[in-house]
């Protein structure tokens, strides 16, 4: 008995072409180039999910450092003081406080200064 493979191939092609919707030119229309583009896009997505975490951590540290320096502290001394004062806030929350709630961050900085002295 003969097996006709048209349906399976059509499903496979359709899957890739749907994922390539919105890609420019042949990358969104032609199966082979669409498949290459989709596979490359998946590689970039996988890699950049890791990169995003690094980028955000860098941003948070930058913002905390700027907030700490407004109060006469460096990032390292500020974080050391927080540990000494047993204040368990993560960098994401601290960065948000440094940008949006400056008076609360100022109170934290004062508490850190007292602990360090």
Three-class SS state of 71: coil
Q: What is the pLDDT of residue 117?
A: 84
Q: What is the pLDDT of residue 4?
A: 86
In a domain, 104, yes or no: yes
In a domain, 68, yes or no: yes
Q: What angle do CA 83, 84, 90 make, to 5 degrees?
A: 15
In a domain, 12, yes or no: yes
Q: Report whether 80 contacts 73 (CB < 8 A).
A: no
Rounded to 10 deg, the angle between the 75-84 and 31-70 helix axes is 80
In a domain, 37, yes or no: yes
39: how many CB neighbours lie within 10 A of its CB? Answer: 11
Rounded to two decimals, the pTM is 0.79
Sign of CA dihedral 31, 32, 38, 42: positive
In a domain, 103, yes or no: yes
Q: Report whether 74 contacts 35 (CB < 8 A).
A: no
Query: Which CATH number does the domain housing residue 65 bear?
Result: 1.10.1900.20
Mean pLDDT by 10 residues, the chain (117 residues): 90 97 96 97 97 98 96 96 94 97 95 93
Q: What angle do CA 36, 41, 46 make, to 5 degrees?
A: 130
In a domain, 27, yes or no: yes
Tell me the residue range of the domain where 43 lies.
6-116
Q: Report whether 86 contacts 115 (CB < 8 A).
A: no
Name the domain count of the chain: 1
In a domain, 1, yes or no: no
């Amino acid at each position: 008995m003969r097996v006709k493979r048209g349906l399976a191939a059509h499903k496979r092609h359709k899957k890739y072409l749907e994922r390539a919707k919105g890609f420019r030119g042949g990358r969104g229309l032609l199966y082979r180039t669409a498949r290459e583009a989709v596979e490359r896009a998946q590689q970039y997505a996988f890699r950049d999910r890791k990169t995003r975490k690094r980028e955000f951590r860098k941003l948070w540290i930058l913002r905390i450092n700027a907030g700490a320096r407004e109060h006469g502290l460096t990032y390292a001394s500020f974080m050391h003081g927080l540990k000494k004062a047993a204040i368990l806030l993560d960098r994401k929350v601290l960065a948000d406080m440094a940008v949006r709630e400056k008076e609360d961050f100022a109170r934290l900085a004062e508490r850190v200064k007292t602990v360090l002295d």
